[in-house]
């Protein structure tokens, strides 16, 4: 034990910054959300729940909730499953795993904004390689595979691919069409996120003791699938929980791709929450409604993390 007062100087800067930068803004957002305050106004009035009322009743905000939910519900499971599959494949390879690992991790590292623009050109109807690849494949193997002609119930004259080929190569304008934009943005989200999950799963896989697989085999779990069900999946429980939580929180915060590629359109199908906050509060200077969205947003995140920490965490640890 010592009597110096050094600790005060050590913790004071951190405490002051935590209060000013992290805790006070929570209350500020909450406060503003009950007013009609706009940045630059001298005065404001308390309006009660009016901003929240708008949020849950106006079409725009209902679409916002939909777009955000769609994005999260699509991107999280697919990027987690892809990450797991990639990790298991790499783990079972005899050679070359490191190269794939580097490639799959590149999107995590690269500036997302730059990559969004690169995707925009890749998916462009006249300049992009994706649509020219599709157009060159009309009547060939590509049409058969990607048009799902191998599925018994798909009519090879009526598939989306055949129709596009017949209509003078009318392939989708992926990012500008109402029925494809949100899925294209989801695809870019998955492309960016799965490498990160893969690396976390690779770490999780190396920590599973070999003996468990031998024991499972003795108990009669011979096939890869049975061993996966019996050993790998349960042992990866904590990793999965961690991966799902992180991916969800990151996915909720999607902004870069939306702002640069769709601006929330077409007809608000990609109008996610972070973009809504930016558009309402910064571009249209509707600070109070932006604050209300912020409060709901933070609410989602806090509920999710609490759920992870105190409810599920108890069940996945052995």
Which of the residues 159 through 218 are near another protein (CB under 8 A)?
191, 195-196, 199-200, 203
Shorter beta-carbon distance to another protein: residue 19 or 215 = 19
Contacts of 39 (CB under 8 A, 6+ apart): 281, 285, 287
* Interface with another protein (CB under 8 A), residue from 55, 64, 186, 274: 274
- For the chain, how many residues are written? 318
Contacts of 288 (CB under 8 A, 6+ apart): 32, 33, 35, 36, 37, 38, 44, 47, 51
Shorter beta-carbon distance to another protein: residue 269 or 287 = 287
Q: Residue 318 Cβ, how far from another protein at the closest point, in Å?
A: 22
Which is it for the CA torsion 303, 309, 311, 315, positive or negative? Answer: positive
Which of the residues 79 through 98 are near another protein (CB under 8 A)? 86, 89-90, 92-94, 96
* Interface with another protein (CB under 8 A), residue from 47, 65, 78, 117: 117
Structure-token pair, residue 139? 């009547």
Shorter beta-carbon distance to another protein: residue 164 or 261 = 261
How many residues sit close enough to another protein to count as binding (CB under 8 A)? 85
* Interface with another protein (CB under 8 A), residue from 46, 56, 121, 307: 121
Which of the residues 36 through 55 are near another protein (CB under 8 A)? 39
User: In terms of Cα–Cα distance, which of 270, 250, 261, 268 is closest to 116?
Assistant: 261
**6: contact with another protein by CB under 8 A:** yes
**126: contact with another protein by CB under 8 A:** yes
Please give the full DSSP string across 126-147, using - where no structure is assigned. TT-HHHHHHHHTTTSHHHHHHT
């Amino acid at each position: 034990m010592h009597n110096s007062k050094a600790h005060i100087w050590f913790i004071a800067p951190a405490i002051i910054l935590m209060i000013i930068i992290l805790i006070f803004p929570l209350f500020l957002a909450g406060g503003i959300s009950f007013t009609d305050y706009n940045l630059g106004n001298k005065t404001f009035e308390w309006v009660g729940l009016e901003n929240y009322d708008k949020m849950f009743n106006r079409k725009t905000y209902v679409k916002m909730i939909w777009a955000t939910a769609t994005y999260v519900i699509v991107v999280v499971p697919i990027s987690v499953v892809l990450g797991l599959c990639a990790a298991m494949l790499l783990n079972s390879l005899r050679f070359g795993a490191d190269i794939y690992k580097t490639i799959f991790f590149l999107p995590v590292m690269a500036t997302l904004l730059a990559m969004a623009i690169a995707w925009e050109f890749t998916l462009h109807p006249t300049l992009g390689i994706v649509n020219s690849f599709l157009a060159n494949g009309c009547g060939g193997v590509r049409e058969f595979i990607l048009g799902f002609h191998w599925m018994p119930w798909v009519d090879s004259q009526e598939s989306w691919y055949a129709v596009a080929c017949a209509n003078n190569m009318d392939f989708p304008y992926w990012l500008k069409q109402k029925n494809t934009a949100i899925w294209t943005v989801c695809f870019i989200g998955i492309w960016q996120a799965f490498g990160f999950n893969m690396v976390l799963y690779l770490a999780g896989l190396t920590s599973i003791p070999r003996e468990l697989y031998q024991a499972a085999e003795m108990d009669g779990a011979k096939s890869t699938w049975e061993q996966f069900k019996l050993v790998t999946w349960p042992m990866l429980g904590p990793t999965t929980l961690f991966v799902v939580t992180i991916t969800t929180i990151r996915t909720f915060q999607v902004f870069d791709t939306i702002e640069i590629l769709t601006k929330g359109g077409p007809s608000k199908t990609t109008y996610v929450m972070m973009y809504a906050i930016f558009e309402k509060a910064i571009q249209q200077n509707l600070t109070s409604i932006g604050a209300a969205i912020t409060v709901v947003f933070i609410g989602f995140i806090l509920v999710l993390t609490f759920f992870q920490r105190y409810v599920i965490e108890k069940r996945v640890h052995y």
